[in-house]
Structure 1
Amino acid sequence: MVRGWHGWLGTFNGVVLITVVVLPLAALAVWALARRRRAAGTTSAWRTSLADVGIVYGTVPWVWMIMLPGEQAGAVSGRVTVVPLRDLLTIFSDGGPLTATVQVVGNLLVFAALGFFAPLRFPALASVPRILVLAAGCSVLVETAQYVLRLDRVSSVDDVLLNAAGAGLAALASRRWWRDTPDTSTDRRPQPAPAVGR
């Protein structure tokens, strides 16, 4: 039973399979949230519901995968790389182009859903620089957790850069819909009617 659960929860393939299996549940969550919000009179109920579920569904599996412990988790000290591009060059030289491509694409996708949906959900985040800062901050937290928890993974500045870049690119991809984002920051109180001259 333990081995079976580990196959589902403790491997990359297991996480991917779970992500695919729960896709219908994510769609159902969007529908239920939108219906509830429409009944409450919320504007853009479908948009906000899709964004809420999209952020969670598109981010949690990636964070889950990069937090999976390595074979020597707890037995070795955390490793840190703070020189930009050093890890990428090492992967290219040791693992080859295919391994490096998988590594780069995977890191670009970690916070891509956050970058795509956050500006649609939160008007204050409808800015590429803000998304870059948010994604970089989240990435630093994840890399720090990897180090502190001694997961036998490398905490690298390259991962932070790629995670932030992926979120920024995803934000650019959703930019055409930013202008339709409801602006909840403006004062929507009724304005007095202009005085009519006599």
Structure 2
Amino acid sequence: MKLSISLQVTLDGVAQANGGNNEEMDPGFTRGGWALPFNDDAAVQYILGTWQRPDAFLLGRKTYGLFEKYWGARSDDGGFGEAISSKPKYLVSRTVTDPTWEQSTVISGDVTARVRELKAQPGGELLVVGSAALARWLLENELVDELNLVQFPVIVGEGKRLLPEHGLDFALNLIESRVFDTGIIALTYSVGGRPEYASAS
């Protein structure tokens, strides 16, 4: 099973609070909601298509809790609630033991081994959405096959970045790109191997 990450980010790499400020998840962060002013129907449909494609979702605890409250109700949600509620969801958590959202399974303990077991299943796609901290961890543990970034033309200037200042290096191969009328850019890369660097000479 292919493990893919799909996240919305700003030009300066912030992946935090794209849909609005949430004091529970993002205490003290006041620049949330940077994606909403663009009001780009084509980009929304592109993101929805990404959510409708996978066989299962992999989520971090905070994102899972937020999505369950927001998307789990599935009332006039533009299709996102149906897309995620109707698929199996794997929750990475040390604290949640009995999830209530339909088709949810907790992954704890040796998370690396469990994710590798899921990836070893034939065919299909396991998708990470909205879980930037989990996405960083998966990259650092070299578990990611594909990276889909929907980049918004805004510089937030602060907030949690998807990629750390220091970490592993990765070679990326561009699979697909799309530019929307509002300046939003969708970039999909395959992840694998180390990049090459120019010699000192």
Q: Fold conserved (TM > 0.5)?
A: no
Question: 1 or 2, which has the higher strand percentage?
Answer: 2
Higher relative contact order (CA 8 A, sep 6+): 2
Question: 1 or 2, which has the higher helix percentage?
Answer: 1
Instruction: Please state which band the TM-score falls in when normalised by the shorter chain.
Output: under 0.3
Larger Rg: 1
